[in-house]
């Protein structure tokens, strides 16, 4: 994508085009999670600063919108943690548990969404076996008997799912 290449080269016009394209989406994404206009605007501004500063390392393999939303999520969590520390140092520890719970809820919800998206791209039989194991709590033997396959086949499918999820998480978070 030419816009990404121009951004990597330090082109302000490319940066401004990206800003115009994603500013509002990022703002409402953060606003929905935090219910704070101030925090949403702050996080969006910091996200675009982070994008500009790290423009040379932006990946061509991962969609820019995914990278921006991941950056915004991380910036939001960092800002919530800073606010919790600031409040704690000012003697107002009542906000800290709420902030910590909010951070954990956001991280868990996002991780579940990422897992679900990745699982939806897997073959149907593999998804079914994984869901029977993890969501329904069935043993490998119960799944094998139910589906008329060997226990080793069940184990193989589950291993493949877990390896694929690990690999996906590694590429997203590193």
Residue with tokens 């969590």: 77
State which CATH number among 1.10.730.10, 3.60.21.10, 1.10.1740.10, 3.20.20.240 fits the domain covering 1-110: 1.10.1740.10
122-174: CATH number: 1.10.10
Q: How many alpha carbons lie under 13 Å from residue 65 in its C-beta half-sphere?
A: 7
Q: What is the pLDDT of residues 1-58, one digit of tens each?
A: 788 888 899 989 999 999 999 999 999 988 888 788 888 899 999 999 999 999 998 8
The better pLDDT of the pair 98, 147 is held by 147
Who wins on pLDDT, 112 or 9? 9
pLDDT band at 173 (very low <50, low <70, confident <90, very high): low
Domain ranges of the chain: 1-110, 122-174
Tell me the whole-structure pTM to 2 decimals: 0.53
């Amino acid at each position: 994508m030419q816009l990404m290449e121009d951004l990597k080269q330090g082109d302000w016009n490319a940066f401004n085009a990206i800003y115009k394209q994603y500013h509002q989406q990022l703002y409402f994404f953060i606003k929905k999670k935090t219910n704070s206009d101030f925090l949403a605007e702050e996080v969006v501004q910091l996200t675009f600063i982070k994008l500009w500063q790290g423009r040379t390392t932006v990946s061509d393999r991962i969609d820019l919108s995914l990278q921006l939303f991941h950056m915004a999520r991380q910036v939001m969590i960092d800002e919530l943690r800073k606010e919790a520390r600031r409040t704690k140092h000012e003697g107002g520890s009542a906000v800290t548990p709420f902030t910590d719970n909010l951070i954990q809820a956001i991280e868990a919800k996002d991780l579940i969404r990422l897992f679900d998206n990745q699982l939806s791209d897997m073959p149907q039989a593999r998804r079914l076996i994984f869901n029977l194991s993890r969501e329904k709590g069935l043993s490998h033997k119960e799944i094998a008997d139910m589906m008329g396959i060997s226990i080793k086949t069940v184990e193989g499918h589950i291993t493949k799912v877990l390896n694929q999820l690990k690999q996906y998480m590694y590429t997203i978070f590193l």
